[in-house]
Amino acid sequence: MLDPKRFEELATRLGSVIAASPVGDIEKNAKALLASFFSKLDLVSREEFDIQTQVLQRTREKLKALEARLDERDRKAAGAPGE
């Protein structure tokens, strides 16, 4: 997966190279270009990924509990004669 620290390091290096050059606008253009590129990748942060993983886990647990309740009701209905 892509490491944000590496991109920060890249931006820092680009900034130091550009600061030494007479063209200051290149830094702004490079940052805008990189931001545009990464926004098109449709990435999510690690925090958001972890949150969604927890939501999925809770949903699976609820589904298991509901399936168990349904199975119990089916067993009771099958065991009750005349209903």
Together in a domain, 3 and 35: yes
Together in a domain, 28 and 62: no
Predicted pLDDT at 5: 81
Together in a domain, 27 and 57: no
Together in a domain, 50 and 79: yes
4-26 burial, b for 16+ CB within 10 Å, e for fewer? Answer: eeeeeeeeeeeeeebeeeeeeee
Helix (H, G, I), strand (E, B) or coil at 44: coil
What Rg, from alpha-carbon coordinates, does the chain have? 27
Together in a domain, 65 and 30: no
Predicted pLDDT at 67: 97
Predicted pLDDT at 24: 65
Inter-axis angle of helices 25-40 and 4-20, nearest 10: 160
Together in a domain, 37 and 2: yes
pLDDT in tens, 15-36: 777 676 666 677 778 888 888 8
- The count of domains in the chain is 2
* Domain boundaries, position 82: 44-83
pLDDT in tens, 34-77: 888 887 887 888 999 999 999 999 999 999 999 999 999 999 99
Using the Cα atoms of residue 24, residue 27, residue 33 and residue 39 in order, give the sign of their dihedral. Answer: negative
Together in a domain, 39 and 14: yes
Q: Is the pLDDT of residue 82 over 90?
A: no
